[in-house]
Amino acid sequence: MNKIAAIIGCSGCLGIMFLFPSGASAISPALMTFDDVDNSSGAMVMSEDVQKLTALSAKFGFLPPLDWKLAFSDKRGDMTMAEFIPSNESLNDWSRLVCMQGFKGLANDVEPDQFLDSMAATYQENCEGKIVYQQLGSSKVGGLEAVHGLLGCTSMPNIHHSSAVVEASYLSRPQGEMGYFTVISDDENVYLIHKSIRTAIFTTETVPITIDNYRAFMSQP
């Protein structure tokens, strides 16, 4: 496994997230998600790293709706990750997800399109059905280079990890997964952001997000 694939493989933000360490789900979301509590208002404050990821993601159209929650965040070495889902859902059972990751110091090792290709290859290893992958070209926002693509799996294993409320990990019926992915690069770092959905199992002829409707998908809450 090359360096890029190894980084992606341990990042935890792949589809059903069965590359997550199972212990992550055992910690309450509040403890994982936020650094400090603002005692003056009682509101929890996102870490500085997550705030930076969110601000960058918003420039490329990935700002989660106000009624979503930050369900998980983590910092492992040079990788920072944050995952947002609807407030009434959980990481074990989500229908919509926005995932943001930052990889410090990786820009000199890989181009954005190569990173996205490696992401698709790693994703394929975990897909029980057919992989759907299509690069959509590049763009530049605020001097930042970005590559965009569609990536999904017609039938993805649905693994529910053990947690404070789930005694043991278990499998449930597979689901289809599809998402819009963007890889961003600056002078030093690489960022991976995606908005994904889970659906019933689909076929390569009935893909829910395509080149014809991905703009509408990204404009929806």
Among candidate residues 68, 10, 22, 30, the one with its CA nearest the CA of residue 166: 22
Confidence of residue 167 (pLDDT cuts 50, 70, 90): low
Residue 99 has pLDDT above 50, yes or no: yes
Return d(Cα 207, Cα 52) in angstroms, integer. Answer: 33
pLDDT for 192-212, tens place per residue? 999 999 999 999 999 999 999
- Tokens representing 213 are 């409707």
Torsion of CA 2, 12, 79, 125, to 10 degrees: 20
Residue 158 has pLDDT above 90, yes or no: no
Confidence at residue 84, expressed as pLDDT on a 0 to 100 scale: 94
pTM: 0.81
Mean pLDDT in the chain?
A: 80
